[in-house]
Every structure is written in structure tokens, then in C-alpha cells.
């Protein structure tokens, strides 16, 4: 064999070897990733031949089921329509899968290894998926959707059990009915609706300035760091200079020396801006990250369908320690801070649960067709945010917000509520705001933590968001979920 032919032979051998390695890499090492791709043709077509498992709400109601068509393939139906469109999503051969339908695709199609699948096909065995049982409460979910729709054009609500992380409500308005997403045309009609953005899950994807609800995070950092306590006195005068620029209090009200409990109850901007400046960017960032900021929620939901909360510049997340961040104004929910409703629900939940943040989860368990529990999704700690003692101090501050002030809209008869309002200005004028309320109840034995955000409305968090939170919490507490 002459030298040129020998070289060609060696190059061919190397190329075939590389091809074999890459083929093995994709078919063995990264097979799960390849199969999980939303638009993977083989996986989608395979799903048409499977009686996809049910998705149920916390009361046992069916959210999603499969129906066999005349041509022998299965298609998805959503009996409760738009109520669970955002948390559950849809599964269609023509447009793919989204949300929980996508995240829990493997159990829903009863995924098996290739040999078992071929054997089932040869023996004619019915291919069935497993059922997914969620924590979602249908009554509270509908109540939240209806309340947001009455209050404004758009908004979201997230409610969870702070002790377990179980997500009981994930409501986003405007919404959509997954039954209507049947082909590319119907999908495009929703996807191109720029005015309403019905496919956007505002609880997880849409960031807003949190306003004064952020003062809860600043208070927690202040107390847990040991730099402050409930009796610490801070100057609350109006027009205090923060980062070289005067900062106004609400209604230009000026306070003298005031303790942290009173400062949160009266939502004094200059106090918490001073505190955040004093703590500094490094300390604020440490505690914010413990609460879940600067990272996507650790939720059983597609990662690419969630947004991280934090400081944004030119559309990109930047660290709190960046030179572009005004830490004082960030500490009161201003500056370039953008947060999701899920993030603020986690803030409330961490304080409620004695300073421990649990991972949020939509799924309770995976169940076989015979009713046997195949997998129980157990509660899992995400982070220790603050000490038990620090959480108790912040709880006292949040109780004072509801009890000392005029926040009667958040009060539940016979139940002590801890909460904080927030109002963030918009570009639509001085009277149009994004309003917030975060809370938990009962404050000394919390069973529900909640965040409510209503966008572009005339009014304040205590007037608009707090009544929604009160009604949803009342429903969940009554049902004992």
C-alpha cells in the first residue's frame, strides 16, 4: 500500500471511529436528553399510541385526560379548560408539549426501555401512562383567576404550603384554554397576541418591580446579620439622600427616629433604603440568593419556561454586587429589580417556615393505573435563609403591618395574618401602578403563604392585592389543604 493510500485509509478509520463515538454519545449517554426534547418526532409520535396518564387536581378532579380517536391515536382533552392552562400546559403532536405536561412526560407516557416497548407491541398489550396527582386546588385557583380579572387586565397569584413547598395555586391572567391549541394556526394566534400575551405564565415568566414587599427581604437580612434588631432606631426623614439622590417617602411623609417594626408597618422608604445601604451589596446579595433570587425556581416545571428574579440591565440579569446597582433603592423594591410572583411567594414562605425555604412543587405523587403510588414527591429543603429567631422577628414586623395599620382588607376573622403590601410605579402615569401583597396565615402556625401581583391598575397593594390574598387564603384554610 503506497503512502497516500495508507493516509487515506487511516483518515477513513478515524472518521468512522469519531462517528461511532458520537452515535454512542447521543444514543446511550444523552438518550434521555434527546428523547425529552419537546419537538422530538419519534417521541411525539410514540406518545400518540399511548393512553397518556391523567393529570388530577388536589380534589381528584381531572385536569387532563386522553381520548382515543377513530384513527386509533390518542389526543388530549382538558375538562377544566383555562383554569389550569398555565401550570399544566398542553400536549399536542402538532405543536409539542409545555409546562407540567412536558416536565412529567415520562411517567405520563409510561416510558419503558426499548425492548419492553417492542414486546408490548408484539403482544398487543395496551400502552398506558401513569397518572400525575398535583397539589393544585381547583376552587382557590378559579377564585384567584376571577379576582384578578375583576381587579385589572393582568396579574398572577401563587399560594403554597410553606412547610412542604406544595404549590396550591398558580394563577395567571390573561390565560388560555389548552383545548383550543390544536395546530400551528391556533398556537400562532395565541403566541402573536402581543396585547394580552395569554401564553405567558406571569407567575413564573413575567418580572415586575416588587415595591415595598422587598422590605421584608431587607428586614430579614438586617436582623439575621446581627446589625439590627426590632428596637433599632433609624432616621426616617423624607428626602434622605440615597446614592447621592434624595428619596421620598410615601405621600412625602417625614418620620423622626423610628424602630424597624414601626418602619415596616408604615412602609418608610428612607429607613429601609438606609438599612440596605448600611448592610451593603455583598450582604444583601447573600440573603437574596438564600431566598431564591438570581436563580430560577427549583420547581417541577420546564426550566426554560421560568425566569430568575433579580437586578436586570439591558434585559440581562446582573449580580447585586454590580456597580450599576443602587443597593438602597433595590432594598425597597425599586432600582432595576424585577421579580416573579413565585419568588415573592417564596419570600413569604421562608419567613413563615421559621426561616427555612422548601423547594416549590406542583406534583404530589405519581400513580399507576391500578391506583398504586409509584412515586411520592417528598418535601425537600431548598435553603436555610435565616435563623428561627430572625424569622420570628420578621414575622412580628409583618403582623404589625396587618394589625397596626389600616390593612383591614387582609384581615381574616379569627385568623392572625402576617403580610406586606407593595406598590410599584409604571410608565403609564402617576396613578397607574403594579400592586403587590405577600402574606402567610395563621401567622403562628402557617399553612398557606401567598403572593399576589396585579398589573397596571389605579390604586395600591392594600386596596387591590390584599383582598385577593385574603379570599384565596380563606378558601385554602377552610379546605385544610
Domains of the chain: 39-134 (3.90.1310.10), 138-188+207-479 (3.40.710.10)
* pLDDT given at position 23: 44
* pLDDT given at position 72: 77
* pLDDT given at position 49: 75
- Is the model's pTM score more than 0.85? yes
pLDDT averages per 10-residue partition of the chain, 481 residues: 56 51 42 46 63 96 93 91 97 93 96 52 68 98 96 93 98 96 91 91 94 97 98 94 91 92 96 97 98 98 97 95 96 94 99 99 96 96 98 98 82 96 75 90 98 89 92 95 56
* pLDDT given at position 71: 83
* pLDDT given at position 461: 84
Q: How many other β-carbons are positioned within 10 Å of the β-carbon of residue 41?
A: 9
Quote the cell numbers at residue 106: 415520562
Amino acid at each position: 500500500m503506497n503512502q497516500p493510500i495508507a493516509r487515506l485509509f487511516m483518515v477513513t478509520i478515524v472518521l468512522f471511529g469519531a462517528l461511532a463515538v458520537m452515535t454512542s454519545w447521543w444514543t446511550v449517554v444523552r438518550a434521555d436528553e434527546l428523547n425529552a426534547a419537546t419537538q422530538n418526532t419519534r417521541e411525539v409520535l410514540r406518545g400518540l399510541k399511548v393512553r397518556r396518564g391523567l393529570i388530577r387536581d388536589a380534589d381528584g378532579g381531572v385536569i387532563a385526560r386522553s381520548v382515543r380517536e377513530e384513527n386509533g391515536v390518542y389526543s388530549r382533552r382538558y375538562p377544566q379548560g383555562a383554569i389550569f392552562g398555565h401550570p399544566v400546559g398542553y400536549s399536542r403532536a402538532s405543536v409539542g408539549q409545555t409546562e407540567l405536561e412536558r416536565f412529567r412526560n415520562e411517567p405520563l407516557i409510561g416510558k419503558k426501555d426499548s425492548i419492553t416497548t417492542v414486546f408490548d407491541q408484539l403482544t398487543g398489550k395496551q400502552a398506558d401512562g401513569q397518572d400525575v396527582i398535583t397539589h393544585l386546588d381547583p376552587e382557590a385557583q378559579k377564585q384567584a383567576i376571577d379576582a384578578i380579572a375583576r381587579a385589572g387586565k393582568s396579574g398572577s397569584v401563587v399560594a403554597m404550603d410553606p412547610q412542604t413547598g406544595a404549590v396550591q395555586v398558580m394563577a395567571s391572567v390573561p390565560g388560555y384554554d389548552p383545548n383550543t391549541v390544536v395546530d400551528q394556526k391556533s398556537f400562532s394566534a395565541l403566541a402573536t397576541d402581543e396585547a394580552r400575551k395569554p401564553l405567558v405564565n406571569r407567575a413564573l415568566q413575567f418580572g415586575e418591580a416588587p415595591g415595598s414587599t422587598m422590605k421584608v427581604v431587607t428586614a430579614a437580612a438586617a436582623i439575621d446579620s446581627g446589625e439590627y434588631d426590632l428596637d433599632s432606631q433609624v432616621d426616617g426623614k423624607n428626602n434622605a439622600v440615597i446614592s447621592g439622590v434624595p428619596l421620598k417617602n410615601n405621600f412625602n411623609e417625614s418620620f423622626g427616629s423610628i424602630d424597624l417594626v414601626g418602619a415596616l408597618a408604615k412602609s418608610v422608604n428612607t429607613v429601609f433604603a438606609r438599612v440596605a445601604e448600611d448592610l451593603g451589596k455583598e450582604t444583601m446579595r447573600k440573603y437574596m440568593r438564600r431566598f431564591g433570587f438570581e436563580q430560577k425556581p427549583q420547581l417541577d416545571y420546564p426550566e426554560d419556561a421560568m425566569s430568575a428574579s433579580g437586578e436586570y440591565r439591558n434585559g440581562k440579569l446582573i449580580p447585586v454586587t454590580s456597580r450599576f446597582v443602587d443597593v438602597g433603592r433595590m432594598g425597597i423594591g425599586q432600582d432595576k429589580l424585577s421579580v416573579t410572583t413565585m419568588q415573592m411567594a417564596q419570600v413569604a414562605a421562608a419567613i413563615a417556615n421559621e426561616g427555612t425555604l422548601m423547594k416549590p412543587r406542583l406534583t404530589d405523587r405519581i400513580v399507576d393505573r391500578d391506583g398504586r403510588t409509584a412515586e411520592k414527591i417528598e418535601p425537600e429543603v431548598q435553603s436555610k435563609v435565616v435563623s428561627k429567631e430572625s424569622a420570628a422577628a420578621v414575622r412580628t414586623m409583618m403582623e404589625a403591618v396587618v394589625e397596626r395599620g389600616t390593612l383591614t382588607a387582609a384581615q381574616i376573622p379569627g385568623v392572625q395574618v402576617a403580610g406586606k403590601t407593595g406598590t410599584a410605579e409604571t410608565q403609564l402615569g402617576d396613578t397607574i401602578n403594579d400592586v403587590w401583597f405577600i402574606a402567610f396565615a395563621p401567622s403562628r402556625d402557617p399553612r398557606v403563604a401567598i403572593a399576589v401581583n396585579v398589573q397596571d391598575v389605579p390604586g395600591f397593594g392594600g386596596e387591590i392585592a390584599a383582598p385577593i390574598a385574603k379570599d384565596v387564603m380563606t378558601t385554602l384554610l377552610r379546605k385544610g389543604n
